[in-house]
Amino acid sequence: MSRVYNFCSGPAALPEAVLKKAQSEMLDWHGAGVSVMEMSHRSDEFMSILASAKARLSRLLNVSDDYEILFVQGGASTLFSQIPANLVNGFDSACYLDTGAWSSKAIKEAKRYTKVNVVGSSKEQNYSTVPDFSSLNLDESAAYLHLCPNETIGGVEFSDLPETQLPIVADLSSTILSRKIDVSKYGMIYAGAQKNVGPAGVVICIVRKDLLARSSDDLPSVWSFANLAANDSMINTPPTFAIYLADLVFEWLEAQGGVEAIEEINIRKAKALYDFIDSSAFYSNPVDPAFRSRMNVPFILADDSLDALFIRESEEAGLRTLAGHRSVGGMRASIYNAMPMEGVVALIDFMRDFEERHG
């Protein structure tokens, strides 16, 4: 067996210790005589896994009793519709900040439900920066303000939030658990699991309890946040194995020292890679340095006719999935929590060597 360094943006690398633990429990989970995949979701065993996942996530992010943790299906893209469907009830519009491909997709879907007020956009800067928050066109009578603090494709990240009384709804799919956040500043947080949490198939949602009252009885039952909360995310069969893996990832993260400890490592990893890119005349990163993502690092080669060779040689060197998103090309290294510093060092060494040979 030879594991490579996997820079995929998602589904992304999982901690090896988690995969090994899942492997050791695969045939017989804690003496149950079956794997987690084969148990009733209503069994005491699975209920204990669900409770553990919620408790660990709550500890890792310091989630107060004012919030409900939900495990939702359909991917983060489903939430692009589910959020306006639940939260716009009783309002005429919603505010959206447009900072890249994922915010734009959220805007497109929300428009099917309500009037969307785009409060600011960096589209004209080719999504390489974040609009100045003091110039946002906020409407304080809207249902909420939606934003995406880490744009996975563009590699743009921000940590400050705009000043507003509106509930802030944040798509944290590619940054959750990578850095400290103050959950109390948000109305709702959601994140597809397949980057920093676990396998695809579950979306982590943290919703302020007062917002649950907005879910109308006319919604499809499985879409209603209020209904999901009332049924402990078990209106129907939840993605049990994905939730179990998420619990193992949370356990691993606690053993690393939690979000604060992993954030230190993430800062060091990102700094090493950006410093190298900035020191080179061959590689470049197009993002405003104030808003460079710690998780997704896009870069381009000075000569794009070398792209295919770069991908081929990097794969041969055990560095997997460095091609940029199909919509933008170039390269992208996703360096989520499970990517060790050694993987980033191996990438930098390869990039230096490639430049010396072909630059």
Binding site for ligand PMP (CB under 6 A): 10, 75-77, 102, 148, 152, 171, 173-174, 192
Q: How far apart are CA 159 and CA 181, in angstroms?
A: 8
Range 244-283 burial, b when 16+ CB lie within 10 A, else e:
bbbbbbbbbbeeeebbeebbebbeebbebbbebbeebebb
Nearest approach, Cβ of residue 78 and ligand PMP (Å): 7
Is 175 annotated as ligand-binding?
A: no
247 is catalytic: no
Is 76 annotated as ligand-binding?
A: yes
Nearest approach, Cβ of residue 153 and ligand PMP (Å): 7
Is 240 annotated as ligand-binding?
A: no
What are the E-state strand segments in 135-226? 145-147, 150-151, 156-157, 168-171, 188-192, 203-208
Which lies closer to ligand PMP via its Cβ, residue 86 or residue 173? 173
Is 237 annotated as ligand-binding?
A: yes
171 is catalytic: yes
Which lies closer to ligand PMP via its Cβ, residue 75 or residue 359? 75
Which lies closer to ligand PMP via its Cβ, residue 39 or residue 331? 331
Nearest approach, Cβ of residue 92 and ligand PMP (Å): 26
Contact between 125 and 77 under an 8 Å Cβ cutoff? The reply is: no
Q: Which residue among the candidates 98, 195, 247, 269 is catalytic per the annotation?
A: 195
Length of the chain (residues): 359
Which residues 6+ apart lie within 8 Å of 177 measured at CB? 60, 61, 196, 197, 253, 259, 262, 337
- C-alpha triplet 125, 299, 155: angle, nearest 5°: 55
Nearest CA to 36 out of 250, 248, 254, 252 is that of 248
Q: How many helices (H) and strands (E) does the chain have?
A: 9, 14
Contact between 49 and 36 under an 8 Å Cβ cutoff? The reply is: yes
Q: What is the dihedral of CA 48, 261, 18, 270, to 10 degrees?
A: 140
Nearest approach, Cβ of residue 197 and ligand PMP (Å): 11
Which residues 6+ apart lie within 8 Å of 30 measured at CB? 45
Is 62 annotated as ligand-binding?
A: no
Q: Which residue among the candidates 29, 171, 247, 252 is catalytic per the annotation?
A: 171
Q: Copy the structure tokens of residue 296.
A: 């997704």
Q: Which residue among the candidates 54, 98, 102, 247 is catalytic per the annotation?
A: 102
Q: Find the radius of gyration of the CA atoms of the chain.
A: 21
In the complex, residue closest to ligand PMP by CB: 75
Is 338 annotated as ligand-binding?
A: no
Which lies closer to ligand PMP via its Cβ, residue 39 or residue 339? 339
Nearest approach, Cβ of residue 334 and ligand PMP (Å): 10
Nearest CA to 84 out of 255, 219, 232 is that of 219
92 is catalytic: no
Beta strands at 67-72 and 156-157: parallel, antiparallel or unpaired: unpaired
Is 9 annotated as ligand-binding?
A: yes
Nearest approach, Cβ of residue 166 and ligand PMP (Å): 20
Which lies closer to ligand PMP via its Cβ, residue 276 or residue 321? 321
Which lies closer to ligand PMP via its Cβ, residue 39 or residue 249? 249
Is 48 annotated as ligand-binding?
A: no
Which residues are annotated as catalytic? 102, 171, 195
Binding region for L-glutamate:
9, 42
**Residues of the binding site for pyridoxal 5'-phosphate:** 76-77, 102, 152, 171, 194, 236-237
